[in-house]
Amino acid sequence: MALPKGSLDGSAFGSAAETSNETLGSAKSELKASDLLRDSKLWYLLVIYAICGFQDFFVATHVVAFARDQGMGAVVSGNLFALMGLVGVAGVLMTGFVSDRFGPMLPTLICFAIRIALFGLVMVTTSVVAIIGFTLVYGFTFW
């Protein structure tokens, strides 16, 4: 697998004037998979995805059982899980808007800050209101 050199930062495609004179497939030098594995940006991205993925699966796996353990009914707990996914759609739309305006770093930092605050909240209180708030706000961070 080879990619045009500079494809990680988007500079491989150049300006409109440059691409009109040469086709995208005729890159002068190619970036090999081994070059990608040495790029620190790739490893940062993989670590961020791994952390977010672990958190998402952890919460999705345990939120219904946790709500049930705290005295919420089965139907309410299940519906809360469904609403968590629904507010995730709103989170994705808002994050797309913020990313377009300010770049991807700001929404990622906001997501991590919100998640840290939410996990802190659940460690302090496990009231029904806190669980509902945790679930809906955490769902909003499903970007």
The pTM for the full model equals: 0.69
Give me the residues paired with residue 31 across strands: 3
31 in Cβ contact with 7 (< 8 Å): yes
pLDDT of residue 29: 67
Say whether pLDDT at 25 is over 80.
no
Q: pLDDT tens-digit profile of 30-64?
A: 778 888 888 888 898 899 889 988 999 999 999 99
The crossing angle, in degrees rounded to 10, of helices 105-124 and 40-69 is 30
Residues 6+ apart with CB under 8 A from 76: 67
* CA-wise closest residue to 126 among 57, 63, 54: 63
CA 106 to chain centre: 12
